[in-house]
Amino acid sequence: MATIEIVKRAATRPTWAEVSLQNLRHNFSVVQRHVGPQNTICAVVKADGYGHGATGCARALEEEGARWLGVTSLDEAIPLRDADIQARILLMTGFWRGEEDEIVRLGLTPTIWDAGQVEQLEKAAARLGLRHAVHLKIDTGMGRLGVDAEDLPQVCAALKDSPHLIVEGLSTHLASSEILDAPSVADQLKRFEDVRRELRNQGIEPPLVHVSNTGAVISRPEALYTMVRPGIALYGYFLPFERAGREVSGSKLKLPIKPVLTWKTRILSLRDMRANQPLGYGGTYLTKAPARIAVLPVGYADGLNRALASRGRVIVREYYAPIVGRISMDLTLVDVTGLPGVSVGDEVILLGKTDGLSVDAQEHAELANTVVYEILCGISKRVPRRYN
């Protein structure tokens, strides 16, 4: 029988993302100083570390002092344990029936919100002869996950009947932490405090109480409690704060964080075009005069948002160059007319900064009418991450 030889080759397609673990560590330290040493940080590395690579980021965060990491589910936690990450791992959206034995075996901490979850975990912990920690989530108004106040007695009863489970944490999630005058925040915190009192009356008083995402970490000191769950801030961004529908800026609403990811490519081809030349699919862009067009080996399959077509810009040789025409699956066109010395193979910055010029994920998000999270998480797996 013929054998198939698998040859491993280095990635040669010149589109990549550079992830600064130094900046990631810096951002973690900034957040820790902001919340104080008494507050535990659960560093969120879900969605593959917001597109930065969960394992590499988790290892750097653990080395910097993170004792907790937040992921979405079991399938995001397993690679971290396989990589010998020892930090506590919070499963922020609970678990599916049938995952409970693996969760207990790997020492993962699930978020729970109903009696059925309690019963499944109790049986798994009993089978394995272990006591296992859980975090109880309360729905205070987000309307997604969490126990409602009227169902709380049933969940408490199930917990009391579960000698192998320890209620270590209590949490909720704020729907509008970036809207400074949103009355819903105060309403949610009041509901949360009401539940805390009820649990205290039931003899349940978890040491880890957490409400705050990045927005609340920065803007809501009353919501810090004993643990916080920063995500996007660790990667160098936060959503703009608003009051009465208007964006608010100010030094008190900023932390000295740094973007962690720089996205680069190289010029694949240079084309000299005549005036009135249609470019790209549909010919939606016409050159106004003779133009020099650079072809970049990056497209929407890599995560470059199509909404940036004829709106976004890149950095070439310390100059801005506009994206022209529609962004296609694998290729993007930029106008480099008049830029000195531009050559095939030149490095192009899609996200990042150099010599006073900057194109960041917030700029992409505003042009694409979306949020920073989607821009970063949208950088696809075929873009290799290089850690430095």
Instruction: Give 234-279 pLDDT, tens digit per residue.
Output: 999 998 888 867 787 766 788 999 999 999 999 999 999 999 999 9
Q: Is 46 a catalytic residue?
A: yes
Q: Can you give the pTM of this predicted structure? A: 0.94
Q: 111-140 as b/e, with b when 16 or more CB fall inside 10 Å?
A: bbbbbebbebbbebbbeeeeebbbbbbbbb
In this predicted structure, what is the pLDDT of residue 7?
Answer: 45
Instruction: Give 101-114 pLDDT, tens digit per residue.
Output: 999 999 999 999 99
Locus of tokens 């949020």: 371
Instruction: Give 72-100 pLDDT, tens digit per residue.
Output: 999 999 999 999 999 999 999 999 999 99
CA distance 36 to 53: 27
Instruction: Give 333-381 pLDDT, tens digit per residue.
Output: 999 999 999 999 999 999 999 989 999 999 999 999 999 999 999 999 9
Written out in words, the top-level CATH class of the domain with range 21-253 is alpha beta
Beta bridge partners of 323: 334
Vertex 235, ends 230 and 241: CA angle to 5°? 65
Q: Give me the residue spans of the domains in the chain.
A: 21-253, 261-387
Same CATH fold, 261-387 and 21-253?
no
SS3 for 143? coil
Classify residue 261 by burial, with Cβ atoms within 10 Å: 0-12, 13-18, 19+: buried
Q: Is 281 a catalytic residue?
A: yes
Written out in words, the top-level CATH class of the domain with range 261-387 is mainly beta
Q: Label residue 1 by pLDDT band (50, 70, 90).
A: very low
In this predicted structure, what is the pLDDT of residue 2?
Answer: 40
In this predicted structure, what is the pLDDT of residue 328?
Answer: 98
CA distance 114 to 172: 14
CA distance 116 to 118: 5
Catalytic residue among 190, 254, 281, 381: 281
